[in-house]
Every structure is written in structure tokens, then in C-alpha cells.
Amino acid sequence: GEDVEQSLFLSVREGDSSVINCTYTDSSSTYLYWYKQEPGAGLQLLTYIFSNMDMKQDQRLTVLLNKKDKHLSLRIADTQTGDSAIYFCADFMDTGRRALTFGSGTRLQVQP
Amino acid sequence: GAVVSQHPSWVICKSGTSVKIECRSLDFQATTMFWYRQFPKQSLMLMATSNEGSKATYEQGVEKDKFLINHASLTLSTLTVTSAHPEDSSFYICSAPTLGTGNGYTFGSGTRLTVV
């Protein structure tokens, strides 16, 4: 089945850029998402990218997609302490049950 | 934007009792709802897909008799954990697809279940 992997932890200083990486296995993924989860809360959609795009920018967020290597990254510019959370990448395939497959999540810690 | 309301946000129950978790789509119709389970510091694992007016589809390894899912209307899906045991303690989250795939899926705020 589909497998989505992420590094578990990232620590940055406030004001620096954060880059969270994700790899996936199924080349038929049509959309890839980034979600943010704060402690004890549900998931908040941050951004998404369609599989035929290489890059998408939305304010402080930049998503890069390397479809050949099946690699997705999320860059957060000028990281703030409020960005501390767990970030999940997820992919969607327009076949089968049409549910999202999530990575293991990356815990981002922003130090003041 | 689309909102999925999930209740309760947390619940503590005794072993052997049943707990019902509700998810409502507030301003859109959800013919499909996905139920996920999240263990501490782990990812979300899809448990089942509920479909309005038909039986739910369960993922491999999920006991359908233990996790009863009902999707009786276009705005309400429920998950009932029957005869709960401490190992059922977890964070349960529902999700519904919204406004076309590119707009993602809207998630409920989650329910933390603790079985004592």
C-alpha cells in the first residue's frame, strides 16, 4: 500500500526558515497536502499542491514537489513560536477509497 | 468555510461501557465521512469510511462489531466504541471531503477517549 514518510522532529530559532520534508511511494497521487496539528486539537489544512505543479507559494509557506523523486517539502519563512506544532503531509489518490494517507508527522519546535 | 463539528471533545468511560462520538457537517453535505484514530505521537490511521445510507467500509484489522459506524443523514456520522477497553483509549478524528478534492478535507476537532 501507499507509504508516506517524514522526519520526526525539527528545531529552529524564531525568525529562521523551517523546511519539513516528506516522501511518498505512489506515483498516482493526485494531490498532496500539508496539515498542522496543535496539541489536543484536530487538523488544520495549511496548503496543498496538485501533482502537476512543482511549486506553490502562499504567504510564508512554500511547497516544493519533486514528482520524479516523490519528494514534497514545506518551507515556512520567518518561523514564529506560534508555528510550533506537528505537521503532517498527506497524499490523495483519485482512486479507491479516496481517503488521505498521512505521514508520521514532524514535530516543529521553534525556540525564541 | 466548511466546518465539521465533533463531539464530545473528550470523554472518560469505564471499561465495558459504550461511547458514541458524533461528527456533523455544519454548512455542507457530507455523503462520505472518514474516521481516523491517532495514538500518542503517532500518525492518523484510517479506521473506516462511512457512507450516507449504506454500510461503512472498514480498513483491514478494524473490528466492525467494536467500532460501529452509522451515517444516517447527509450531515451526521457517528462512531460508537462498544464494550470499551483501556486499549481503545486514543484520539479519534473524523473528516469529510469538501468542495472538490483540491480544497482538501475538513477535520473535526477530535475526541480524546480515555477508558479506565
CB pair distance less than 8 Å for B107 and A42:
yes
Q: Give percent of chain A with pLDDT exceeding 70.
A: 96
| Nearest neighbour of B104 by CB, restricted to A48, A102, A103 | A48
A30: which chain B residues are within 8 Å (Cβ-Cβ)? 101
For residue B82, pLDDT beyond 70:
yes
- In Å, how far is A63's CA from the nearest CA of chain B? 15
Q: Examine the pLDDT at B102 and tell me if it is beyond 60.
A: no
Partner-chain residue, chosen from B49, B105, B109, that has the shortest CB–CB distance to A41: B109
Cross-strand partners of B106: B96
The DSSP output letter for A112 is -
Tens digit of each residue's pLDDT (9 = 90 or more) over A4-54: 899 889 999 999 999 999 999 887 778 899 999 998 788 888 999 988 899
Q: What is the pLDDT of residues B4-63, one digit of tens each?
A: 999 999 999 999 999 999 999 998 888 899 999 998 878 899 999 999 988 999 999 999
Q: Is A54 left (phi over 0), alpha (psi -120 to 50) or beta?
A: alpha
SS3 content of chain B, % helix, strand, coil (to 5): 5, 55, 40
User: CB of B106 within 8 A of CB of B5?
Assistant: no
**pLDDT of res. B103:** 56
Pairwise CA distance, residues B33 & A86, whole Å:
23
Say how many C-beta atoms besides its own lie within 10 A of residue A60's C-beta: 14
- A1 — pLDDT class (breaks 50, 70, 90): low
The SS3 of residue A58 is strand
**Is the bond into B8 cis (omega within 30 degrees of 0)?**
yes
> Which of B41, B93, B101 shows the shortest C-beta gap to A42?
B93
